[in-house]
Amino acid sequence: MSTKKVKVIDLFCWIWWITRGFVNKKFEVVAWIDFEWSCKFWYEKNNNGAKFIHKDIRDVNKEEIESLYWNDCNIRVLVWCAPCQPFSWMNTKKSDYFFDEDKANLRSPLDKFASLVEETLPTIVSMENVANLANKEKYPAFKHFLDVLDKNKYTVSYKVVDTSDYGIPQKRRRLVLLASRLWNIELIETTSSKKKTVYETIAHLPPIWIWETHPNDPYHRTQWMSELNKTRIKAIPKNGWTLAKTKWAEHLVVDCHKKDSWKAYGCSVYGRMKWDEPSPTLTTLCLGIWNGRYGHPEQDRAISLREASLIQTFPIDYEFTENKKEYNLQKVVRQIGNAVPVKLGEVIAESIKNHLNKYWIIS
C-alpha cells in the first residue's frame, strides 16, 4: 500500500470543535478560517501549529485555499460548519427573515462553500449542520449544494444523527455529510449501544452553588439567579425535569406555562437534567434554568461552565480564556454552547480515515 499525505482546512471553525476532532485523530489541519477574531487565542493556545486566518468565508477565494495546501499533499480535505441559526427549528417558526439573503445574509455561506468546492475540487468534503437542513425542498441552498457535488463527480452520503449514539453525553440531532471523489464514503457506525450519561460526565465535580466559582477550577462557575428562580429550582424534583405548571405553586408558575402553547414550549424550560440519561441539547444560554432543562440533577442551581464544556466533550485541559481570574462568563458560554461536541468531530475524522485506509496508508 502506498502512503498518501493528507491535509485539512476548516472553514467556520469557531472554537475548533470539528477541527479538534481531526487533530485528535492525527490529521494535519493546516488552517482555520473564521471571521470571529476572538477565536485566535483558542487556536493558538489549544492546537498544534495550524494557521488562523481571520476572514469572512465570502471573501475567501480559490487561490487562497490552494496556496494553503494544494501543491504539497495528495489528499485534500475541506471541512465546513456554518452558523446553524438560519436552518434551526426556532427560527423557521419565526418568519422568513432568515431566508432573505439581502436582510440576513446568512444563507449565502452555503452557496459560497459550494462555489469553493467546485473551484478547488478537494478530495473529500465534510459538512455538518442542524437536522432541519436535510429537507431539500424547504432549503434549496442544500439541494444546490448536493447538485454541485453530483456535477463534480463526488459520491455523497448524509444522514441525521443523534450525538448520544456516539458516546456523547448529550441528545443533539445533527446533519452530517461526507463526500469523496475517490469511492463510496460513509459515516462510521454508532460506537456503543449504551449511551453515556450525565452522571458519568459531571458527577465527579465538587458541589458549588449559585454565583460561585470553585477555588480549584475557574471554569466550574455558575450564573447568577434571582430570588424567585432560586425558589423555583428548589421546587423542581431532583434527578429529572417536570412540567412546572402541574407541579409548582401558583405564584411560581412562569408566563410561558400560562399560555395555550405551554405544552410545546413550557415543558422545555425550568427543569433538571437526569443522572441516568444524556443531557438535553445545550445552547448558548445553557447556564440558566429559564432557557431549557439545564438544572443540575441534584444541586439547586443550573449547570456550571465546566459541566457544560464536559457535556460538549471538550477536554479538561482546554483553555477558554487568557485570564482565568477575570473573564466574561457569557462570552465563554456562548462559545461552548455554539459548539458541536468535539467527539462528533472525531467521528467525522475517523470516518474519513477509514475511507482512505481502504487502499492507502495516510500521513
CATH number of the domain residue 21 falls in: 3.40.50.150
Helix axes 62-69 and 108-120, enclosed angle (nearest 10): 60
Say which of 13, 39, 84, 256 is annotated catalytic.
84
Residues 110, 76, single domain; the answer is yes
Q: What is the pLDDT of residue 83?
A: 57
Residues 14, 153, single domain; the answer is yes
Q: What is the pLDDT of residue 93?
A: 44
CATH code, 259: 3.90.120.10
pLDDT in tens, the chain (363 residues): 677 789 998 887 555 667 788 888 989 888 777 777 777 777 777 766 667 778 777 788 888 888 876 667 889 999 987 655 444 444 444 434 333 444 344 446 788 889 999 999 999 999 988 888 888 888 888 899 999 999 999 999 999 999 999 999 999 999 999 999 999 999 999 977 789 999 999 999 999 999 999 999 999 999 999 999 999 999 888 887 765 656 678 788 877 777 666 655 556 788 899 999 999 999 999 999 999 899 999 999 999 999 999 999 999 988 888 888 889 999 899 889 888 899 999 999 999 999 999 878 776
Q: Which residues of 333-360 are buried (b: 16+ CB within 10 A; e: fewer)?
A: bbbbbbbbbbbbbbbbbbbbbebbeeeb
200 grid coordinates:
458519568
Residues 181, 322, single domain; the answer is no
Residues 296, 271, single domain; the answer is yes
Report how far residue 193's alpha carbon sits from residue 29's, in angstroms, rounded to the nearest whole number.
Answer: 31
DSSP line for 106-138: -SHHHHHHHHHHHHH--SEEEEEEEGGGG-TTT
CB 202 within 8 A of CB 307: yes
Residues 10, 144, single domain; the answer is yes
Residues 138, 276, single domain; the answer is no
Q: What is the pLDDT of residue 105?
A: 46
Residues 140, 163, single domain; the answer is yes
Residues 36, 86, single domain; the answer is yes
Q: Is 13 designated active site? A: no
Helix axes 342-356 and 17-24, enclosed angle (nearest 10): 50
Q: Which residues of 62-76 are buried (b: 16+ CB within 10 A; e: fewer)?
A: eebbeebbbeebebb
Residues 150, 214, single domain; the answer is no
The three-state secondary structure class of 275 is coil
Report how far residue 214's alpha carbon sits from residue 205's, in angstroms, rounded to the nearest whole number.
Answer: 10
Range of the domain at 34: 3-195+342-362
Residues 130, 232, single domain; the answer is no
Residues 276, 141, single domain; the answer is no
Residues 228, 300, single domain; the answer is yes
Is the Cα dihedral 28, 30, 32, 33 positive or negative? negative
Number of domains forming the structure of the chain:
2
* Whole-prediction pTM: 0.88
Report how far residue 286's alpha carbon sits from residue 124's, in angstroms, rounded to the nearest whole number.
Answer: 34
